[in-house]
Amino acid sequence: MEVKEHLPVAVAAKARIRTKVVADGVSTGCGNLTGFHAGYFRISLSLCAQALLWKTLSEPSGGAAGGSHALRHLARSVPAAAHLLLWSVALAVLAALCFLYALRCALRPRHVAAEFSHHVGVNYLFAPWISWLLLLQAAPPAAAPLSRALWWAFVAPILMLDVKIYGQWFTDGKRFLSLAANPTSQMTVVGNLVGAQAAARMGWPEAATCMFSLGMVHYLVLFVTLYQRFVGSTSLPAILRPAFFLFSAASSMASLAWDSIAGKFDLGSRMLFYLSLFLLASLVSRPALFRRAMRRFNLAWWAYSFPLTMLALAATEYEQEVKGGVADALMLFLSALSVLVITVLVVFTVLKAGDLFPNGDDPFAPPPPPPPLGSSNHSSRFEVAC
């Protein structure tokens, strides 16, 4: 009889343990989802840009033999399956990040709204669409109607964000450019320029010119604003200072976009390329600026790879047009540096993957809502978790 009396108690205890385990798992998963934000698309930006770089290097080019052409020969000697593998890895990572962010939108709408209102967080909402456009250019050849349909699917969100953000800058919105501008604001420019480059490569010159004009007009205004170092430009946390390398990424992307529109790396493209080199040299010569960000591995480190890859891509086009020893050396150095940086980042990410998803630590978290009147402080763990 005593055994029978203790059976319900044991069953209830086991049920409580199972409920606690499930609740802890849900709490941890939802906490990680809370800490997941659009800044994680820095990873896909770097991988997709790297896939495009290797595709560009593997394409045939004319000219005499040289160091950079040896690099091209090496890229072409790599089996096509390796290029496809790199593209597939970039696609898988981007798709996984998009899936996680879609879950965040569904389960954490207040956090997404807070991110959209944040002067830094909103700029990384361009990152997934930039990644898709880069991946589209690096993809194996596809039918023109399919490519244009995908282009519209990826550019439409960029245009909607343009209307929202740019509209606030020159109308009576609360977010004035002099207060909101920061180095990550250049993601808005990069989005338009990548769209222009993709349209030009598909043989769509009018769409390319439209996107290029939107990007360049706002780039000039934004560059001057950031150069004057108003309040907004100094509001970037020290840990996010690797985003300063976006200065080089924006001008490199402008150089590549105009090259695709004009059909050659002409004077305008070369001027923008020289500006990119100068901006990169200015940043590299000031390592103290990034000292605090480099103390411990964090997601912001991925901000180094994408600008370097964009500059390496511009260097490949520069080398084809100018030729000579200096152009060869620039292409070889920047391409090798780009590959080295992303390799180091991948290794650190694999070894320290746990550091990339801080449990419940959302840098753009909204303030907690006030409790409803008459509500009890007691709630289930599932309600607290999700």
Q: Which of 118-122, 273-277, 368-372 has the lowest mean pLDDT?
A: 368-372
Name the DSSP class of 356.
G
pLDDT value at 385 more than 90: no
72-83 pLDDT, tens digit per residue, is 667 666 767 788
Q: Is 194 in contact with 134 (CB distance < 8 Å)? A: yes
Q: Is 91 in contact with 176 (CB distance < 8 Å)? A: no
What pLDDT does residue 136 have?
95
109-152 pLDDT, tens digit per residue, is 888 888 888 888 899 999 999 999 999 999 988 777 888 899 99
Q: Is 44 in contact with 346 (CB distance < 8 Å)? A: no
Highest mean pLDDT among 114-118, 275-279, 354-358: 275-279
Q: How far is CA 340 from CA 117, 118, 163, 345, in A?
A: 35, 33, 38, 9
Confidence of residue 232 (pLDDT cuts 50, 70, 90): low
Short-list 189, 195, 285, 294, CA closest to 246: 189
pLDDT value at 172 more than 80: no
pLDDT value at 65 more than 60: no
What pLDDT does residue 114 have?
87
Distance CA 154, CA 147 (A): 11
Distance CA 120, CA 73 (A): 41
Distance CA 154, CA 98 (A): 13
What pLDDT does residue 235 have?
67
Name the DSSP class of 139.
S
**What does the domain layout of the chain look like in residue ranges?**
41-98+118-358
pLDDT, average across residues 290-317: 93
What pLDDT does residue 364 have?
66
Candidates 1.50.10.150, 1.10.260.40, 1.20.140.10, 1.20.120.1200; CATH matching 41-98+118-358: 1.50.10.150
Distance CA 215, CA 113 (A): 25
Mean pLDDT estimate for the chain: 82
Task: Provide, rounded to the nearest whole percent, the portion of the chain with pLDDT above 90.
Answer: 51
Q: Is 44 in contact with 97 (CB distance < 8 Å)? A: yes
> Can you read off the two tokens belonging to residue 51?
């896939």
What pLDDT does residue 165 have?
86
What pLDDT does residue 318 have?
94
Short-list 352, 346, 340, CA closest to 296: 352
176: helix, strand or coil:
coil
215-230 pLDDT, tens digit per residue, is 999 999 999 988 887 6
- The residue that leads in pLDDT, 232 or 111, is 111
pLDDT value at 205 more than 70: yes
What pLDDT does residue 61 have?
64
- The residue that leads in pLDDT, 361 or 18, is 361
Q: Which of 95-99, 145-149, 207-211, 374-378 has the lowest mean pLDDT?
A: 374-378
By 3-state DSSP, what share of the chain in percent is helix, strand and coil, each rounded to 5?
80, 0, 20
pLDDT value at 307 more than 50: yes
> Can you read off the two tokens belonging to residue 111?
């956090």
Task: Provide, rounded to the nearest whole percent, the portion of the chain with pLDDT above 70.
Answer: 76
Q: Which of 150-164, 188-202, 314-328 has the lowest mean pLDDT?
A: 314-328
> Can you read off the two tokens belonging to residue 239?
């840990």
Short-list 114, 62, 71, CA closest to 366: 114
